[in-house]
Chains A and B, each alone.
Chain A
Amino acid sequence: MTDAMSHVNPRMSQEPVPDTAEERVSYLAEGHSLRSWLLTTDHKRIAILFLLSITFFFFCGGIAAALIRLDLLTPAPDLLSNDGYNRAFSLHGIIMVWFFLIPSIPTTFGNFLIPMMIGARDLAFPRLNLASWYIFVLGGLATLATVVLGGVDTGWTFYTPFSSTYSNGAVFMAVTAVFISGFSSILTGINFIVTVHKLRCPGMTWGRLPLFVWAHYATAVIFVLATPVLTIALVLVALERIAGIGIFDPRLGGDPLLFQHLFWFYSHPAVYIMVLPAMGVVSELITNAAHKQIFGYWFVAGSAIAIAVIGFMVWGHHMFVSGQSPYASAIFSFLSIVVAVPSAIKVYNWTATLHKGDIVIDGPLLYALGFIGLFTIGGLTGLMLAMLAIDVHVTDTYFVVAHFHFIMVGGSVSAFFGALHFWWPKITGRLYNDLWARLAALLIFAGFVMTFAPQFLLGYEGMPRRYHVYPAVFQPLNVMSSVGASILAFGYLLPFTYLLWSLRHGKPAGPNPWGATGLEWTTPSPPPKHNFETVPVVDKQAYCYPVGGRSEDSKPATQKAEPGDG
């Protein structure tokens, strides 16, 4: 064990840790009663509440995923009944999308870091922030109630008329759960936008905002503009379900496609809710690992906004085979290709930032690199799916399943773990063992690729999604996928052991273990209740790393305010 413990992260500064943490009471020590947590308005404590809740739902969704992959080991339906399988994948989707991925990075790291990064003492509306958590928990309880009521078999998409007329699952309760959780998203979005507008400290101009904040600003705009449309769509499904008003029933004058339009008007931008914060995380991780200024700050910041805006105009690419007008399909196809441009800009800029950087390979960097690799594969296959001719061939196959898992799981979850490792010393005040972090990052990457790469092949050869009985010819690839899933599961479990271990046994982190530049690193770890003793004043651009990397003779960057930086 001593050998492993000596594996201090090479990126971490070796200078003695200043004892600032003792001077002011940290946010964790502000009170230990349950009440002090459940009635807190401190954005950092609320972030921890969210972190615990979404981790719980991550495991719930993971159990459903494990059932699915076990059942798919063989072509026969030997573990789950047909109904049981439908319920397993629906539950997996609903929980993972709305109770893990959507809130994952924004409500935890966004909540914790946005005020600290912009030099604020809290979010603009702390009580609203706490309300957001309670609403989220209420929605989560409704989801669990759905399970108790026998589950739901509509898939996470709730397509009508199946969900509104024919399904015999607990659709109403499931829809209610998602409906409730939407208000949590809306409140978080309002809070983030107002905070970024009104609480930046002196000198923190828009051009000096960390890219993490830009990404969350774009995400918050989507939260606010997309979520209400899902809310009303779900209300209409519930009305149809209870009263049978016929809005989605063609026999009664309704139109089932209307639901798909309303649903994807939310749910396509929702993909960007999942991936934009991840991109913000990666921008921070990459600049710190390379120890240099981001390449093309305004391009990375602007592309986040571009993704948020164009992301609202591509929903029709989910409906190429639904019978929408071919002219509409052509336009949606074009716009879907256009939205790949800002994403590609980000990938190029990250790699250009690494170019000639003073790179140290450690846990957070490996997660960030994992994000870039998996996101690129997911993005390129997304371009294929945006092509009308290919999409018609692979709609509703495992090709699509693999594509969106590369983005949402390979991309976003990798970034989530990267953020967890990068800011863990700030959040908890403890250092973890980086050897384990690197091992877990590699396991997650390898397990992920082994799980989902075969699904591209399965889908291209014609295996449809949402079936658990399949021709024997598909078995080898399915076995490979299931074995990969078990490696992936192990990779996800690993951080929970060594990170929790570090809480008790890890060395104190000190305020800035990574030598990073953001304002959050100027505070003690863990930070005190209102973050900053005096209001910070910013006179530099973001990511002003010393010129010359980490070497002894590196000079402090002298980039002062420029007219062009906002």
Chain B
Amino acid sequence: MAEVSRPQPQFPTLARQREADHLGMLIFLTTEVLIFGGLFAALFVLRAEHSAEYVKSSKGMHLWLGGINTAVLLTSSAMVALMVEAVRAGRARLAKWLLMGAIALGLAFLAIKFTEYALEYRDGVVPRLSPGNLQGGPDALFMDLYFAATGLHALHVAAGLVLLGSLIWPFGAARSDSSAAFAGNAALYWHLVDVIWLFLYPTLYLAR
């Protein structure tokens, strides 16, 4: 990589290219919100049509694990936000530590999430898989949607971790300007993952 970043040929200035990347990322995140929107619609319809079963299933969720995970993800998001400020301020060392902290918390989120899945398997509420034999019906549908929504979210967490991971190496080089732009966009994605969880958590765990 060259020391000084040059804009791609279609952009008049580097600043314009940064703005375009930022806007492109925001629009992409809009599409992500709408993808999850369909799942939320499905959950709300289930809640409206089978309220009692929905509440009962929701009460079976591991509330504390979900709550801890919310705290973990929020803290991680805060560290990413601070990381972007650190990169902008040129404090590469601090940024690196914050980034590694955020990644560690992201991994912790996934670990807790999969522990939760294992507990649910043991509880016998995994449709078609658990020995508990949850029969088809609104209860099973709730669990299916829970797995679809949190599973898709976990995929996004994993993608976000890859994105954050790809940020670690550039800090050594003298590319703080382009690093800051890329870090800013990666951080936006991580915040989106966080925001989606903030809506998933009450929808799935707190419907009681």
Contact = CB atoms under 8 A, between A and B. Distances in A.
A233 interface: yes
Given A124-B24, A199-B10, A246-B136, A258 B45 contact: yes
A338 interface: no
Interface of B: 8-12, 16, 19-20, 23-24, 27-28, 30-39, 41-42, 45-46, 49-50, 53, 127-128, 136-141, 144-145, 148
B145 A120 contact: no
Contacts of A194: 20, 23-24, 27
Contact of A224 (B30, B138, B139, B145): B30
B23 A197 contact: yes
Given A120-B10, A225-B34, A190 B24 contact: yes
Counting from the closest, the 9 A-B pairs by CB-CB distance are A232-B38, A253-B138, A228-B34, A245-B144, A122-B10, A198-B20, A228-B35, A252-B136, A228-B31
A115 B10 CA distance: 9
B41 A247 contact: no
Nearest to A262: B38
B50 A253 contact: yes
Contacts of B27: 189-190, 193-194, 224
Given A121-B9, A122-B9, 12 more contacts: A126-B10, A190-B24, A193-B23, A198-B23, A232-B35, A235-B148, A239-B144, A245-B145, A246-B136, A247-B144, A255-B49, A258-B42
A253 B28 contact: no
Contact of A239 (B31, B33, B137, B148): B148
A229 B34 contact: yes
A198 B9 contact: no
30 contacts: A115-B10, A121-B9, A124-B20, A128-B24, A193-B23, A194-B23, A198-B11, A198-B23, A199-B11, A228-B32, A228-B35, A232-B36, A239-B144, A243-B128, A244-B136, A245-B140, A245-B141, A245-B145, A246-B141, A247-B42, A247-B141, A252-B140, A253-B138, A253-B139, A254-B46, A254-B141, A258-B41, A258-B42, A258-B45, A262-B41
A125 interface: yes
A252 B141 contact: yes
A385 interface: no
Interface string A175-213: 000000000001001110110011100000000000000
A235 B136 CA distance: 20
A254 B45 CA distance: 9
B141 A261 contact: no
Nearest to B50: A253
Contacts, number: 122
Interface of A: 115, 120-126, 128, 186, 189-191, 193-194, 197-199, 224-225, 227-229, 231-233, 235-236, 239, 243-247, 251-255, 258, 261-262, 530, 535
B140 A232 contact: no
A124 B10 contact: yes
A232 B144 contact: no
A126 B138 CA distance: 47
Contacts of B128: 243
A224 B31 CA distance: 6
A231 B11 CA distance: 32
A194 B50 CA distance: 43
Contacts of B136: 244, 246, 251-253
A270 B8 CA distance: 33
A255 B45 contact: yes
B19 A198 contact: yes
Nearest to A121: B10
Contacts of B41: 258, 261-262
A519 to B, nearest CB: 15
Contact of B35 (A191, A231, A245, A253): A231
A245 B9 contact: no
Q: Which of B10, B24, B34, B136 has the most CB of A within 10 A?
A: B10
Contacts of B38: 228-229, 231-233, 235-236, 262
Contacts of B137: 246, 252-253
A247 B42 CA distance: 8
Contact of A246 (B30, B32, B144): B144
B125 to A, nearest CB: 14
Contacts of A258: 41-42, 45
Nearest to B44: A258
Contacts of A190: 24, 27-28, 31
A115 B140 CA distance: 51
B46 A253 contact: yes
B17 to A, nearest CB: 8
A186 B141 contact: no
B145 A247 contact: yes
A495 to B, nearest CB: 32
Nearest to B144: A245
A330 B41 CA distance: 22
Contacts of A231: 35, 38
A236 B41 CA distance: 12
Contacts of A124: 10-11, 20, 24
Contacts of B50: 253
B141 A236 contact: no
A388 B42 CA distance: 27
Nearest to B136: A252
